[in-house]
C-alpha cells in the first residue's frame, strides 16, 4: 500500500502531520511519499500541480490530500492558482464520485447552529458528481457579448453540461450507497429551469429502475437548501451535480457543528481514491497550531475502508475520534464551555493514544 501525501497550503501541512501520525501508529506498514501541491507546488516548481506530484498521485494506491489555497497566489492567472491543483487531480485521475458524509457526533450537538432536536442523530451522505458540470464544461471564458441589451460589451461565460453516461455512473454510486444505509436517495437538480438538469432527472429516474428496493425522490436545489436547514434528518443519500454539491455540502457540513470534522472521498470507476477534509486551507489560522485535524484523520480512515479494504482499522480510527470527543478534548472551532481546548498536535496525539 502506497499513499501519496499531498499536504498543500495553509493549515494543510499541520493537519496532515496528525493524520500521518495516526496512520503510522496503526502499524500496517503503509508506505507514504510526500509531494508539493497548490500554492506550495507553485512556489517549489512553478505549477500548482507539478508533473512529479501528478505522477506520484497516479502511481500511488491512494492519495491523502490536505487543502489548497493561499491569498498570495490569488492574483495569478487562473491556470496557476492553487485551486487548479485539486481540479486537475480530479480530472486527471477521473475521480468522479465525491462522497461527503455529514454526521453529527452526539458530543458536538451544542456546537451546531441549529437546535439539538433538529440535528441530533444526523447522518447524511452527500454524493457530489465531481468531474463534470459547469466546473469543467467548455466553451468558457470572456468574450464580446453577441446579443441582447448588453451586446458588444465584454461578458464572462461558462457551459453547464452532463452526458448520459456521466449521470448514470454517479446515480449508480448513489443507489448502491443507499443500499448500505437507509435506502433513500434524494436527487437534487434544477429541472424547472435548466435543460441539463431536466436531463439529469430523466436519467436518474431510468437508473432507478435497477434499484426497486431504494426510494427515489427528486428535489429542486433551492428547496433542498431550505430542507437541509429545516429538517436535515429527512435526508439519507443526496446525489447531485458538481456545483450544487459544492454548495450543499458546505451547508450540510455546518449542521454538524464544524466543517473541521468532516472527511471526504473522491473515487474513480475502479475505487481508487483521493481523500481530503471537506474544509479548505484556512490561511487565516495557518501556522498557529489551532486547526482541527479530525477531518483529515477521518479522511485517512475513509481511505483505509474504501481503497484498502481495511474496515477494521478504519473503525479503530473512528472510534478513537469518538473517544477523544467524549474525553472533552476540543480544538477552538468546536470548543464550548466545560470542554478542554487543545491544539492541532495535541489532538492528533490524543487520537493516537485512544487507538487502543
Catalytic site positions = 135, 190, 222, 246, 250
Phi, psi of 277 (to 5 degrees): -65, 155
**17 binding partner (options ligand IPM, Mn ion, none; Cβ < 5 to 8 Å by kind):** none
Residue 292 CB, shortest distance to ligand IPM, in Å, is: 17
158 contacts ligand IPM (rule: CB under 6 A)? no
Structure-block grid coordinates of residue 13: 501541512
For residues 196 and 176, give the distance between their C-alpha atoms in angstroms, rounded to a whole number: 23
Q: Enumerate the known binding-site residues for Mg(2+).
A: 222, 246, 250
**Within a 13 Å sphere around the CA of 339, how many CA atoms are in the beta-carbon half?**
20
Stretch that binds ligand IPM, among 82-90, 200-208, 294-302, 304-312 (CB under 6 A): 82-90
Q: How many residues bind ligand IPM (CB under 6 A)?
A: 4
Footprint of ligand IPM on 84-123 (CB under 6 A): 86-87
Footprint of ligand IPM on 188-247 (CB under 6 A): 246
**Which residues of this chain interact with Mn ion, rule CB under 5 A?**
246
Residue 72 CB, shortest distance to ligand IPM, in Å, is: 16
Is the separation of the CB atoms in 104 and 122 below 8 Å?
Answer: yes
For residues 306 and 125, give the distance between their C-alpha atoms in angstroms, rounded to a whole number: 15
Q: Which is nearer to ligand IPM, 190 or 316 (CB)?
A: 190
Q: Which is nearer to Mn ion, 61 or 246 (CB)?
A: 246
Residue 275 CB, shortest distance to ligand IPM, in Å, is: 12
Q: Which of 83, 155, 158, 268 binds ligand IPM (CB under 6 A)?
A: 83
Q: Which is nearer to Mn ion, 98 or 196 (CB)?
A: 98
Q: Which is nearer to ligand IPM, 125 or 310 (CB)?
A: 125
DSSP 133: G
Stretch that binds ligand IPM, among 50-58, 83-91, 200-208, 233-241 (CB under 6 A): 83-91
CB atoms near residue 240 (< 10 Å) = 29
Q: Which is nearer to Mn ion, 267 or 329 (CB)?
A: 267
Residue 86 CB, shortest distance to ligand IPM, in Å, is: 5
For residues 314 and 312, give the distance between their C-alpha atoms in angstroms, rounded to a whole number: 5
Query: Could you tell me which of 65, 1, 5 has the C-alpha nearest to residue 299?
Result: 65
Q: DSSP secondary structure string, 210-262? A: T-TTSEEEEEEHHHHHHHHHH-GGG-SEEEE-HHHHHHHHHHHHHHTS-GGG-
Residue 183 CB, shortest distance to ligand IPM, in Å, is: 27
Q: Sign (positive/negative) of CA torsion 3, 238, 164, 199?
A: negative
CA-angle at 240, arms to 317 and 107, nearest 5°: 35
Q: Which is nearer to ligand IPM, 12 or 348 (CB)?
A: 12
**254 binding partner (options Mn ion, ligand IPM, none; Cβ < 5 to 8 Å by kind):** none
Query: Could you tell me which of 49, 38, 96, 103 has the C-alpha nearest to residue 72?
Result: 38
User: Residue 237 burial (CB < 10 Å; 0-12/13-18/19+)?
Assistant: buried
Nearest residue to ligand IPM, by Cβ distance, number only = 83
Nearest residue to Mn ion, by Cβ distance, number only = 246
Residue 246 CB, shortest distance to Mn ion, in Å, is: 4
Give Rg (Cα) of the chain. 20
Binding site for ligand IPM (CB under 6 A): 83, 86-87, 246
Amino acid at each position: 500500500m502506497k499513499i501519496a501525501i499531498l499536504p498543500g497550503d495553509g493549515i494543510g501541512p499541520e493537519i496532515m502531520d496528525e493524520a500521518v501520525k495516526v496512520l503510522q501508529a496503526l502499524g500496517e506498514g503503509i508506505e507514504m511519499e510526500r509531494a508539493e501541491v497548490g500554492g506550495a507546488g507553485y512556489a517549489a516548481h512553478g505549477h500548482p500541480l507539478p508533473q512529479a506530484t501528478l505522477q506520484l498521485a497516479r502511481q500511488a494506491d491512494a492519495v491523502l490530500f490536505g487543502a489548497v489555497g493561499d491569498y498570495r497566489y490569488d492574483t495569478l492567472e487562473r491556470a496557476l492558482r492553487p485551486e487548479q491543483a485539486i481540479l486537475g487531480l480530479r480530472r486527471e485521475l477521473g475521480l468522479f464520485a465525491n462522497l461527503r458524509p455529514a454526521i453529527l457526533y452526539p458530543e458536538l450537538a451544542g456546537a451546531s447552529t441549529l437546535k439539538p432536536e433538529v440535528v441530533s442523530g444526523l447522518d447524511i451522505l452527500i454524493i457530489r458528481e465531481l468531474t463534470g458540470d459547469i466546473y469543467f464544461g467548455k466553451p468558457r471564458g470572456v468574450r464580446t457579448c453577441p446579443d441582447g441589451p448588453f451586446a458588444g460589451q465584454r461578458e464572462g461565460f461558462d457551459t453547464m453540461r452532463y452526458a448520459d453516461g456521466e449521470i448514470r455512473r454517479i446515480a449508480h454510486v448513489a443507489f448502491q450507497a443507499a443500499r448500505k444505509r437507509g435506502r433513500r436517495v434524494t436527487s437534487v437538480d434544477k429541472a424547472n429551469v435548466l435543460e441539463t438538469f431536466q436531463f439529469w432527472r430523466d436519467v436518474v429516474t431510468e437508473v432507478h429502475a435497477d434499484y426497486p428496493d431504494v426510494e427515489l425522490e427528486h428535489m429542486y436545489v433551492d428547496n433542498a437548501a431550505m430542507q437541509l436547514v429545516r429538517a436535515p434528518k429527512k435526508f439519507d443519500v443526496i446525489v447531485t451535480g458538481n456545483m450544487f454539491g459544492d454548495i450543499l455540502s458546505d451547508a450540510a457540513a455546518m449542521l454538524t457543528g464544524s466543517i473541521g470534522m468532516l472527511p471526504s472521498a473522491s473515487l474513480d470507476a475502479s475505487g481508487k481514491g483521493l481523500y481530503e477534509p471537506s474544509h479548505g486551507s484556512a490561511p487565516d489560522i495557518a501556522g498557529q497550531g489551532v486547526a482541527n485535524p479530525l477531518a483529515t484523520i477521518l479522511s485517512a480512515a475513509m481511505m483505509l475502508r474504501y481503497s484498502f479494504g481495511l474496515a477494521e482499522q478504519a473503525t479503530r480510527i473512528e472510534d478513537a475520534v469518538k473517544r477523544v470527543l467524549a474525553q472533552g478534548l476540543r480544538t477552538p472551532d468546536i470548543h464550548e464551555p466545560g470542554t478542554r481546548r487543545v491544539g492541532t498536535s495535541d489532538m492528533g496525539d490524543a487520537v493516537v493514544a485512544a487507538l487502543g
